[in-house]
A and B are shown apart, each in its own frame.
Chain A
Amino acid sequence: MSGNMNLTLKIWRQANANAVGGFVTFNVKNISPDSSFLEMLDILNEELEVKGLDPVAFEHDCREGICGACSLVINGRPHGPLDKITTCQLHMRHFKDGDTIWIEPWRAKAFPIIKDLVVDRTSFDKIIQAGGFISVDTGGVPDANAILISKEAIETATDAAACIGCGACVAACKNASAMLFVSAKVSQFAVLPQGQPERYQRVQAMVKKMDELGFGSCTNTYACEAECPKGISVRNIARLNREYFNAKLKSENVEA
């Protein structure tokens, strides 16, 4: 089945972190509407490779919307024009023959560009390393059913835990705030019994790290929720704020 769409692409190209970047125009032909957006980029890259030209660098892996590797701001929106999906889940049937598509990397101080559309998101890992876990060593834990958890709590925790760490929330935010990401992890553990012992240290340590890394502050525009491919709710941010406030009240020995 050969395709039938011809498109003009305006793609951000930048040789490395320190180079000056800019948009470069490409044309792709015969794209099947059933192809995914990234398959369309594969086709472009194969054409470049055959000519011995450097393919456009972009990040991707699972192509199922779960690994969080793919990114891309497409026509001004992180993960493209559809709600609640990742770029890798976007199909060409949502574009029209003859369209011009603008493709850019995530832009945020805490996510420096590495090359073309690839950015460095290790700052997210650093936030988790600062406290986004339950301190438990391997072995010596109670039987799984010894900890009863209500269906409601598990649903709330799972909703929050579904975050894929892609960074669209940061890319969507005019302040480049990481509050949605951080609040999702804080919420997951705040509503589970296992998370209680470190509840207040955790929120303080994670927020502190987030600030250190140069993420902006949250001014409640909710752009993050609108662009989150997993529909992570801003209610988590409200919970984080509550947790943080309580932590300040209750803990004396942890500084933020």
Chain B
Amino acid sequence: MIKLNAKIPKGAIEDKWTNHRFNMKLVNPANKRKYDVIVIGTGLAGASAAASMAELGYNVTVLTYHDSPRRAHSIAAQGGINAAKNYPTDGDSIKRLFYDTLKGGDYRAREGNVYRLAEVSNSIIDQCVAQGVPFAREYGGHLDNRSFGGALVSRTFYSRSITGQQLLLGAYSALSRQVGLGKIKMITRREMLGLVVIDGAARGVVARNLVTGEIENYAAHAVVLATGGYSRVFFLSTNAMNCNTTAIWRAHRKGALFANPCFTQIHPTCIPLHGEQQSKLTLMSESLRNDGRIWVKLKPGDKRKPGEIPESERDYILERKYPTYGNLAPRDISSRAAKEACDAGKGAGETGQAVYLDFADAIKRLGKKVIEERYGNLFEMYELITAENPWEVPMRIYPAPHYTMGGLWVDYNLMSNVPGLYVLGEANFSDHGANRLGASALMQGLADGYFVIPYTIGDYLAGTKFQAVKTDHPEFQKEKVAIDEMTKKLLSIKGKRTTDDIHRQLGRIMWNKVGMARNEKGLKEAIQEISDLREEFWKNVNVPGSAEDLNQALERAGRVADFLELGELMAVDALDRKESCGGHFREEFQYEDGEAKRDDENYTYVAAWEFKSPGEWALHKEQLEFEYLKPTVRSYK
């Protein structure tokens, strides 16, 4: 029986992290280079972790499936990164960021973790500025801020609409510096396909060289997964095409618990679908909601163009339903409001699957120049994709899968239940509860990488007696054989359907039944349908090419095989959670006005699933305790 211990330090919430840092064991500086650490992933979490650990003196090897560490999906984040600096002196503080994040997550995250996140947030901004990250400035030379959903203060730091790129290039430069100094071995075009567990602890990984197809072994004292989120289980999402769940899924199969898999975020402001040939969805930064107003037609079925619909016949849904937060209501709430309106036939455009995001008032109030400065490149991007000019006609937006709050279970030290296996960034479940606030993922990724793991990993390394393990250990061989077999099988099926075709079908099941609104019947159907689809995949997929070559079809097939297992677990988890909270909306559990109805008495727990066999899991519960913020009904009215 697995016993979950979150290892939250004792003491007052303000002191937990400080005390913990003091109480942790330290590795003698001269010994640090004797410890090998593998980091998988070079997004914000992985790059910052690798650089920081190498600076401390550990021997770090980094793997990524990209051709360059700078391509990690973090690069695509647009809007910004939160911190409790309170530079605008509008009432922000560590406590308020803590409160907003916990409340935003609908009280399904740990107080201790969230407080620490808020606490280190300020150091992140300092660090990035020191690296030369060009955050936006005011005329006096000070840093500028903007607001994001779920907050009444301006605490988001940004760099035009390319914040993720600039932060990642900052972390990438720190990483590159260590590569140049010979302290990091940077290995690109490698996909981790297996975790090696020896005597119960993570001691290495097995990865495929994506150019030659060779299966390679990497041994270490600890393994850090910073491999991002799994929104691509929906096929269509805002995530990059190669984002996948394989690294954490293979670790899950090796014993790491998967926590709250059903907590997924559907982002309200994405460009609507253009048709069947669509491969991914494009996010329009949430920052647009600072100045854009969201509305739909008052009368269902109204066929007029937006410009012909008078004020009195428009419904500004968020402003009406949530006067305090208005267009800045949190993502889950905004997405659901859009879906409701569209389901009622009030949606925009030909398909009716969209709502308007209108800047006409803001342009009148602030002038074209200000709007151009704030959102110019987003407007351009919109026009490029839709061939519509948002200066003239309101944008059309619709919700799309965007972020996954769920992920591998980790304790306060970011270690999974498998000793020596750490999980950072979007890949873990730690800080966002049932819903993540805008601009908080970048914060969490960098908090984990720059300011948490460099401390906590030392405690583990200093406190553990290690047997020498080399890559000729039989466990590596075992893992390699299993991977070879899977590859052989995939290449030999020679069925009638492509991987994408099956992936698309999985996506439709997920979107319709495990998406924005879920119910018991739909979830039960989804479980059956996914399991059937998985069976079909293993009988009827066609993966061409060979294993000894750059074979993108094979890469995709392996990833979809894992999605076909994960998708089912998401439905199982959603079925178990008989309440609505954050991004998890169960139609059976809502108030009369359609708001989510939490069940604190029975569901204030983290659902951590143990893998038994495909389609079979055991549930472990970590009870959440709230000492500082008593859960209340989350109201943004």
Interface residues, chain A, CB within 8 Å of chain B?
A: 1-3, 15-16, 31-32, 34-36, 38-40, 42-43, 45-46, 48-50, 52-55, 57, 59-69, 85, 89, 91, 93, 114-115, 118, 120-122, 124-125, 128-139, 141-145, 147-151, 154, 157-158, 161-162, 164-165, 188-189, 192, 194-195
**Is B505 an interface residue, CB under 8 A from the partner?**
no
Contacting residues of chain B (171-194) with chain A, CB-CB under 8 angstroms: 172-174, 176-177, 179-180, 186, 188
Q: Mark B26-61, 1 if CB is under 8 A from A, else 0.
A: 000000000000000000000010011001000000
B65-73, B457-465, B516-524, B607-615 - the one binding chain A: B65-73
Contact A64 B544 (CB under 8 A): no
Contact A1 B274 (CB under 8 A): yes
Shortest beta-carbon distance from A17 to chain B in Å: 9
CA distance A63 to B277 in the complex (A): 14
CA distance A188 to B162 in the complex (A): 15
CA distance A155 to B542 in the complex (A): 50
A-B contact pairs, 24 of them (CB 8 A): A3-B277, A34-B274, A34-B275, A34-B277, A54-B545, A61-B242, A62-B241, A66-B76, A69-B71, A91-B385, A121-B68, A125-B68, A125-B69, A125-B176, A130-B180, A131-B180, A133-B131, A138-B51, A139-B451, A141-B127, A142-B130, A149-B141, A151-B139, A162-B160
Contacting residues of chain B (122-149) with chain A, CB-CB under 8 angstroms: 123, 125-132, 134-143
Q: Which of A32, A142, A149, A162 contacts B274 (CB 8 A)?
A: A32
CB-CB nearest in chain A for B278: A39
B52: chain A residues at CB < 8 Å are 137-138
Q: A57-B552, A128-B176, A145-B142 are in contact. Are A39 and B279 (CB under 8 A)?
A: yes
Contact A129 B544 (CB under 8 A): no
B384: chain A residues at CB < 8 Å are 85, 89, 91
Q: Mark B66-84, 1 if CB is under 8 A from A, else 0.
A: 1111110101100000000
Shortest beta-carbon distance from A124 to chain B in Å: 7
Shortest beta-carbon distance from A51 to chain B in Å: 8
CB-CB nearest in chain B for A131: B180
Contact B70 A118 (CB under 8 A): no
Contact B240 A132 (CB under 8 A): no
Give 7 nearest A-B pairs by CB, closest first: A148-B141, A133-B173, A141-B130, A129-B180, A1-B275, A34-B274, A144-B129
Contacting residues of chain B (478-504) with chain A, CB-CB under 8 angstroms: 494, 496-501
**Is B327 an interface residue, CB under 8 A from the partner?**
no
Shortest beta-carbon distance from B362 to chain A in Å: 21
Contact B142 A39 (CB under 8 A): no
B624: chain A residues at CB < 8 Å are none
B75: chain A residues at CB < 8 Å are 62, 66-68, 164
Shortest beta-carbon distance from A195 to chain B in Å: 6
Shortest beta-carbon distance from A177 to chain B in Å: 19
Shortest beta-carbon distance from B314 to chain A in Å: 27
Shortest beta-carbon distance from B308 to chain A in Å: 24
CA distance A67 to B169 in the complex (A): 11
**Is B550 an interface residue, CB under 8 A from the partner?**
yes
B76: chain A residues at CB < 8 Å are 62, 64, 66-67
Q: A32-B277, A130-B180, A138-B454 are in contact. Are A66 and B498 (CB under 8 A)?
A: no
Contact A122 B68 (CB under 8 A): yes
Q: A63-B240, A129-B179 are in contact. Are A43 and B173 (CB under 8 A)?
A: no
CA distance A178 to B69 in the complex (A): 19
Q: A63-B279, A132-B176 are in contact. Are A49 and B499 (CB under 8 A)?
A: yes
Contact A39 B277 (CB under 8 A): yes
Q: A42-B279, A64-B381 are in contact. Are A135 and B177 (CB under 8 A)?
A: yes
Q: Which of A114, A122, A143 contacts B550 (CB 8 A)?
A: A114
Q: Which of B67, B166, B450 contacts A161 (CB 8 A)?
A: B166
Q: A66-B162, A120-B67 are in contact. Are A188 and B138 (CB under 8 A)?
A: no
CA distance A66 to B130 in the complex (A): 23
**Is B534 an interface residue, CB under 8 A from the partner?**
no
A38: chain B residues at CB < 8 Å are 279
Q: A133-B131, A192-B132, A192-B134 are in contact. Are A138 and B174 (CB under 8 A)?
A: yes
A49: chain B residues at CB < 8 Å are 498-500, 542-544, 553
Contact B499 A188 (CB under 8 A): no
Contact B132 A189 (CB under 8 A): yes
Q: Which of B70, B125, B160, B553 contacts A158 (CB 8 A)?
A: B160
Q: A66-B76, A115-B550 are in contact. Are A132 and B501 (CB under 8 A)?
A: no
Known contacts A35-B275, A121-B68, A145-B87; 15 further A-B pairs (Cβ under 8 A): A49-B553, A54-B544, A55-B545, A62-B73, A63-B240, A69-B67, A129-B176, A134-B132, A136-B131, A141-B130, A145-B85, A151-B141, A157-B134, A165-B70, A189-B132
B143: chain A residues at CB < 8 Å are 144-145
A114: chain B residues at CB < 8 Å are 211, 550
**Is B25 an interface residue, CB under 8 A from the partner?**
no
Contact B132 A35 (CB under 8 A): no
Most buried by B among A31, A35, A139: A139
CB-CB nearest in chain A for B87: A145
Contact A161 B126 (CB under 8 A): no
Q: Which of B51, B67, B123, B275 contacts A59 (CB 8 A)?
A: B67
Contact A55 B544 (CB under 8 A): yes
CA distance A130 to B181 in the complex (A): 9
Shortest beta-carbon distance from B203 to chain A in Å: 26
Contact A125 B552 (CB under 8 A): no
B135: chain A residues at CB < 8 Å are 144, 154
**Is B227 an interface residue, CB under 8 A from the partner?**
no
Most buried by B among A49, A89, A136, A188: A49
CB-CB nearest in chain B for A188: B132
**Is B165 an interface residue, CB under 8 A from the partner?**
yes
Q: Which of A35, A52, A129, A189 contacts B277 (CB 8 A)?
A: A35
CA distance A91 to B279 in the complex (A): 13
**Is B392 an interface residue, CB under 8 A from the partner?**
no
Q: A35-B275, A138-B454 are in contact. Are A161 and B134 (CB under 8 A)?
A: yes
CA distance A128 to B128 in the complex (A): 17
Shortest beta-carbon distance from B402 to chain A in Å: 13
Q: Which of A69, A151, A158 contacts B66 (CB 8 A)?
A: A69
Contact B280 A144 (CB under 8 A): no
Q: Which of B131, B162, B241, B500 contacts A194 (CB 8 A)?
A: B131
A52: chain B residues at CB < 8 Å are 494, 542, 544
Contact A35 B274 (CB under 8 A): yes
B278: chain A residues at CB < 8 Å are 35, 39
CA distance A118 to B555 in the complex (A): 15
CB-CB nearest in chain B for A15: B549
**Is B387 an interface residue, CB under 8 A from the partner?**
yes
